[in-house]
Chain A
Amino acid sequence: MSGGNGHNGQALVRVEHLKKWFPVAAAGLSFGASHEWVQAVDDISFEIAKGETLGLVGESGCGKTTVGRTVARLYEPTSGKVVFDGQSIYDLPAEEMRRVRRKIQMIFQDPYASLNPRMTVGDIVGEPLDIHGLAKGDARKERIYQLLETVGLSREHASRFPHEFSGGQRQRIGLARSLAADPSFIICDEPISALDVSIQAQVVNKLQDLQEKMGLTYLFIAHDLAMVKHISNRVAVMYLGKIVEIADGFELYAHPSHPYTTALLSAIPIPDPTVEEERRRIILEGDVPSPINPPSGCHFRTRCRLAKPACSEKEPELTDRGAGHKVACWVA
């Protein structure tokens, strides 16, 4: 693929009009009454090229985690399509899905909750090998040692339990587990938010090294825009179930088009007092509206300082404004 979408090479992951709505019981609901829906992910499309990192940012409740889980088919979608390596994964029967899932792995946010406290580190890392029947006996052991060393732990750690490790080390164990089945695509859901700053850099560098060495493709989900810009080739900004803007990381920072992106960028503090003193903040009023009954038209219009009457009538589509910089806004 050339130029047009702002990335090189073949798309490994293609997400088309993905929707994931969750039913919620309305007040006073009885059997047979209609549900209300949390429109967690509402008609989003994007592509990730092979070897690329796509960053997905947004505030809590914007649906970014749901995107990650639905793309991995941990949630069944409400509608839409995900094409992974040429296969439409939602059409696959369970048995074939399991084979594809070997190639799609996840790293989770909470390194405390995502490791079974009763399993040894060796068994945690080795579990994907057992499930997919990849290695047995000595070969399995060797592979576990090799995986631990790949993420910067040592083979002695295999017989220990998760509670003996610090947060950063646990996140490495999660990383080793995700690498065990030899994936090509890893969904990183806030992999560093629970870690101290000095440890975050260790994990991020490790992720980058592994990508370079193994040609991995990442969907990097986080709320820390500075870190997302650092690790990603392209960045998608989500607001209330929609992607509002998607562009190359530097381009997005230099020329943000969507009013939400502009506000989000200006809200992020920069660790430099001289810069901070001169910055003009755009302070967004109020809070994110409920995804149960999102505003009509553009979801952001209730907090947007540029909103016009037209914004409440029709939903803006994500359109290409040149060089793969896509924006969904009537005004920008």
Chain B
Amino acid sequence: MDNLLRVRDLKTSFFTYAGEVRAVDGVNFDVAGGEAVAIVGESGCGKSVTAMSLLRLIPEPGKVLAGSVELAGRDLVKLKEREMRHVRGNDISMVFQDPMTSLNPVLTIGTQLMEAIRQHQKVEKDKARARAIETLEMVKIPSADKRLAQYPHQLSGGMRQRVMIAMALSCHPKLVICDEPTTSLDVTIQAQIIELLKDLKKATGMSIILITHNLGVVAGLATRVIVMYAGKIVEYGPVNEIYGIPQHPYTWGLLRSVPRLDAAEKRRLVPIYGQPPDLLKPPVGCRFNPRCDHAMKICREQEPPFVPVNGNGQHHVACWLQHPAAPAVAGFKKGVPA
């Protein structure tokens, strides 16, 4: 698979009165055509800011400082705003967390869908209408033509999220960024939306960037996982390896701190102590070191380099425990499948 998206050394900061907040600090990743990549991490780790940076939708006082975002070989960071507007919707579109606040409450579903279509493609009104009905059917909304005349408040949360997905897909983008698409939904509705995204990915061949803190949702949808902490990627790799043989202590922590529904016995949860750092003054060295059980002297002094593990060139981690001189950690083998 060729890479559709290639992100290199992306840096985004917010210039607040208190100082510079480095929300995204040197992020690199690729997304292949037809692939679903998940970005996981806790609130404030920079996962949403990363997504907004790709679309260049960073609000004041934020700014993309450096790096490149190549979509099919074209660097989006260098585009003029007018050209960028053509990219949004047509090439990359976005589904937001809260469908109630992202839809306009005083306009009908039809008006909003047709606006999106006519904004990006030169089509007549009735053609746009037909296209709107078609996309609503694609996201499995029953009696789609009647829904066009309805307002957002007349739809349930799950239906609203389907409308948001329909809107995102209405111009056949190559990449859809889903920012916590199921967080505000109930689990049975979440299951409907995840199934829908899977089906749509298969049917349209689009790529997905899934941003979430829900490790269960990731396991069911993504093929690759990026773990972010305090503005940096700490680990990335194929989904099976991230869950099966995670290499970063933060990834271990995330996986051990949630109970599993299929657990056969009660096991005490292992929390990650403390809280994420203040990005105004992030810790020196590895940013996770104040909360890490295995922190060594070097972790407090120098930032760990990204190193490949497992020898397949797919799985990378930024942790000093990978260093040949680092002591062994019980129950964990350096870069070797367990």
Contact = CB atoms under 8 A, between A and B. Distances in A.
Q: Do A and B come from one complex?
A: yes
Contacts of B244: 274
Contacts of B188: 59, 263-264, 267, 283-284
Most chain A CB within 10 A, of B190, B269, B275, is at B269
A64 to B, nearest CB: 12
B271 A199 contact: yes
Contacts of A208: 268
Interface in A255-271: 263-271
A197 B42 contact: yes
Given A202-B273, A223-B186, A272 B260 contact: yes
A205 B273 CA distance: 12
Interface stretch (B60-68, B114-122, B144-152, B191-199): B191-199
Contacts of B216: 268-271, 276
B80 interface: no
B187 A268 contact: yes
Interface in A78-107: none
Most chain B CB within 10 A, of A197, A227, A281, A287, is at A197
Interface stretch (B3-11, B14-22, B104-112, B249-257): B249-257
Contact of A198 (B190, B219, B254, B264): B254
A253 B240 contact: no
A166 interface: yes
Nearest to B140: A285
B307 interface: no
Interface in B148-187: 156, 158-159, 186-187
Contacts of B192: 283-284
Nearest to B213: A197
A266 B216 CA distance: 12
B42 A196 contact: yes
B219 A229 contact: no
B17 to A, nearest CB: 17
Interface in A181-212: 196-202, 204-205, 208
A255 to B, nearest CB: 14
A32 interface: no
A266 B270 CA distance: 25
Contact of A226 (B191, B255, B261, B270): B261
A306 interface: no
B143 to A, nearest CB: 13
A270 B43 contact: no
B189 interface: yes
A137 interface: no
Contacts of A250: 264
B239 interface: yes
A166 B216 CA distance: 25
Given A60-B186, A223-B186, A201 B214 contact: no
B203 interface: no
B272 interface: yes
Contact of A230 (B190, B253, B269): B269
A251 to B, nearest CB: 13
Given A230-B266, A230-B269, A287-B189, A269 B220 contact: yes
A273 interface: yes
B306 interface: no
A313 B218 CA distance: 42
B243 A198 contact: no
A51 interface: no
B83 interface: no
Contact of A166 (B158, B257, B275): B275
Contacts of A284: 188, 191-192
B215 interface: yes
Contacts of B156: 287
B217 interface: yes
Contacts of B266: 230
Most chain B CB within 10 A, of A199, A205, A269, A270, is at A269
Nearest to B186: A59
Contacts of B261: 225-226, 229, 253, 265, 268, 270
A140 B29 CA distance: 56
B259 interface: yes
B263 interface: yes
Most chain B CB within 10 A, of A225, A226, A263, is at A226
Interface string A36-73: 00000000000000000000000110000000000000
A168 interface: yes
Given A199-B271, A201-B272, A287-B156, 9 more contacts: A198-B272, A268-B187, A268-B261, A269-B216, A269-B219, A271-B219, A274-B244, A276-B220, A287-B189
Interface of A: 59-60, 166, 168, 196-202, 204-205, 208, 223, 225-227, 229-230, 250, 253, 263-276, 281, 283-284, 287-288
